[in-house]
Amino acid sequence: MGSHILAIDQGTTGTRAILFHRSGRVAGQAYQELSQHFPKPGWVEHDPEEIWRSTVRVIGQAARHAGIKLSSVEAIGITNQRETTVLWDKRSGRPLYRAIVWQDRRTSDICRGLKPREPDVRTVTGLVLDPYFSGTKLTWLIRHVPVVSRAIRAGRAAFGTVDSWLLWKLTGGAVHATDVTNASRTLLYDLRRWRWSRPMMKMLGVPGSILPDVLPSGSHFGETARLAFLPSGIPIRGIAGDQQAALYGQGCVSAGSAKNTYGTGCFLLMQTGRRFVRSSAGLITTAACDDLGHPAYALEGSVFIAGAAVQWLRDGLKIIKTASETEKLARSVKDTGGVYFVPAFVGLGAPYWNPEARGLICGLTRGSGRAHLARAALESIAFQSQEVLEAMRRDSGIGLRSLQVDGGATKNDFLLQFQADLTGVSVVRPKIVETTALGAAQLAGVGIGMWSQKDLQRMRGTDKRFFPRWTDKERTMAMKRWRAAVARTLLIP
């Protein structure tokens, strides 16, 4: 009998594997960064084969770190960057094109042309017409990549978000499926009827033959097969998009509970249970799951660039060597010196949904230095999150008492204290900040009966709580100045 759950967390900037012992402790983990491809301005792509190779590599590294054999893995949970679109040939198993990443904005023109249909789109899918989602990426691929249209006509093409691609590879090509949380991000899924929408498929020109089967997040998705590095027969027992997996990992499985994940982007989700809440404040309605992995609803606000802004300081401007440097730099100055950084590199997400906005740094003087810019980058993450939180309060009518947080950037105490000051509620960091992987593991563990709900509660715990220090007036003025900076990005042609 196995003693470990393997969580595969395939994200935008890299791939992580974590092995959880049946006791709930982390036995071993490994991470590998992923190459980012930018063929044209606003375009972002990944290599699906690199995604798979990185997955294979980190699984092996995690096992070596844990000092165990992979034969001890009893089940696998998968969580993934969501809207990223992969098309592959079902016969050869090879990608038909690079994966188009959720950040990619090449389908802005397609979305503008469909804008008159947006009310219908929102009613059916809960989403807005934005290049963020998978559906228009598929439309673009079908229109512009001849090998894709030929494969579709020949009945060989398969579409999936990254979870589907990994599932296909793990099962030796036996299973073409996804879960409801990933399906709900495609612009092709009827969120009220829990099935693919024929009207949306027709509108976007996407044939049903390429779509995966859709199952609840806590389902049996298949078993490993034909792999050199993993034994055959290990069940894949849970799949959820990264943000919904984090929601589950934080224990937000009932209406009114909420969390914010700080990663490449920033994502705030609030569970609404069985109630489909249509937003009037710039949010989207999406699928989530209850305590047993059954379908539920949530409100979501998406910030496209959060931790990626710090990555840009490192890789683009080269003013820092590591992301962790930003905390010390931010604390070295009393404020940003009037500098505001709006990282709208790929447009603005919730609550603006403006794909034409572009990044902006304003308020610079001769006295501005890299410390001010590093602090402004961290503050921008909190400012963007606060705008989403305010929209969520308006839509739901619920005022949060605290905000659960997770993701790599939550290691930064300066960021979380600033978030608490700006939000006016306590910000709670869990003991395991990689709750995306934790949620995937917990879905799998519950699915095979390894863990009970009490076990899951024991695995979750608080590392540190950050309490707000600002007055309401200070929060109001800070948000007023931030919105003035955002307004400038919306004026850039």
**CATH number, domain at 95?**
3.30.420.40
Task: Judge whether 167 lies within some domain.
Answer: yes
The pLDDT value recorded for residue 492 is: 60
pLDDT category at 99 given cuts 50, 70, 90 is very high
Q: pTM of the predicted model, to two decimals?
A: 0.84
Residue 490 lies in a domain: no
Task: Note down the domain range covering 187.
Answer: 4-242
How many structural domains comprise the chain? 1
Over the chain, what is the mean pLDDT? 93
pLDDT of the residue at 352: 87
Contacts of 368 (CB under 8 A, 6+ apart): 337, 339
Residue 376: inside a domain: no
Within-domain flag for 21: yes
355 pLDDT higher than 90: no
Residue at 223 is within a domain: yes
Q: Are 328 and 305 in contact (CB under 8 A)?
A: no
Is the pLDDT at 429 greater than 60, yes or no?
yes
Residue 392 lies in a domain: no
Give tens-digit pLDDT for 68-90.
999 999 999 999 999 999 999 99
Rounded (to 5) percent helix, strand, coil in the chain: 40, 25, 40
Residue 395 lies in a domain: no
Q: Which of 191, 182, 255, 245 is nearest to 212 (CA)?
A: 182
- Max CA pair span of the chain: 65
Least reliable range by pLDDT among 41-55, 316-330, 430-444:
430-444
Query: How does residue 461 score in pLDDT terms, banded at 50, 70 and 90?
Result: confident
Per-residue pLDDT tens over the stretch 220-264: 999 999 999 999 999 999 999 999 999 999 988 888 788 998 988
| The two three-digit tokens of residue 195, written as one number | 């099935």
The helix (run of H) or strand (run of E) holding residue 109 is helix 108-114
Closest CA to 346 of 106, 146, 176, 14: 106
Does residue 11 lie in a domain region?
yes
